[in-house]
Amino acid sequence: MKIGFIGLGIMGKPMAKNLLKAGYDLTVCAANRAAPELVAAGAKSAPNAEIGETCDLVLTMLPNSPQVKSVMLGQDGVAAHMKPGAVFIDMSSINPVASKEIAAVLAEKGIEMLDAPVSGGEPKAIDGTLSFMVGGKPEVFDAYKPVLEAMGSSVVRCGDVGAGNTTKLANQIIVACNIRALAEAMTLAQKAGVDPQLVFEAIKGGLAGSTVMNAKAPMMIAGNDKPGFKIDLHIKDLNNALDCAHSVGAPVPMTASVQEVLQWLHNNGCGQDDHSAIAKYYEHLTGIQIGR
């Protein structure tokens, strides 16, 4: 099986490397600046059109719906060069409505699609333990699950096309609200004269403990804003969540509230910081830095 990979950013590059480690025949987008590094690791490189012509499976890991639509369905897009029977797996986090639209166009060409967004950020992309939330036909999922397992430790089919991205939106709501709650709680501790590091150590094993806390509390305490997942990308995901919620009539007041905090951070020069920089919002309000 020949696999094409388009989108070699913070997440895509280590994911592509894990496919190479698993022994897959991989071709990456030649236009990406990370392509030479992947070629050095054993991949081939080619223009998008050639990826469509020569690969049995095309993977994308792109920022949002417009980019996925442009790459796949735009003028001279990849889909125009794919053969009937080929498969497209979009690992980007996009609006589920867009996933369904893309799938419908591809179906007319005899191309199957899975939407398979991921959770776990850069560290889990590097070590191959991402969580995949997948939408698509059961038989297509079963056939290509091993490919996703080369990049992740959890691969779950959530329903038909669009269900993967709906699940990812739910994930992003939970993550954003947890990070904000963590920043708020650590700010309270420090304002009350209690060491946030000790608070973290005391509660991480209890009911409040979570993967989010374990990943983000040390970053907040150290003042480490190096992006594993950027604020601007989380804003994009929550915009999609709000759009989806409005279209189906789901109440999401907490999502709207945390989105306002993230937007304030974007407007104040923090859009490229890790989403744990929500702590900076509380620093702005209180004048203190968590753990320092």
Active site residues: 168
- Identity of residue 184: E
Q: In whole angstroms, how far apart are CA 183 and each of 89, 96, 180, 217, 252?
A: 35, 30, 5, 8, 20
H/E element, 89? strand 87-90
CB–CB of 105/81 below 8 Å? no
- Identity of residue 236: K
Please state the separation of Cα 259 from the chain's center in Å: 17
The residues near 280 (Cβ < 8 Å, ≥ 6 apart) are: 225, 265, 268, 270, 273
Q: Which residues of 198-228 are buried (b: 16+ CB within 10 A; e: fewer)?
A: ebbeeeeeeeeebebbebbbebbbeeebebb
CB–CB of 258/152 below 8 Å? no
Q: Which residues of 108-127 are buried (b: 16+ CB within 10 A; e: fewer)?
A: eeebbbbbbbbbbbbebbbe
Residue 132 DSSP SS3: strand
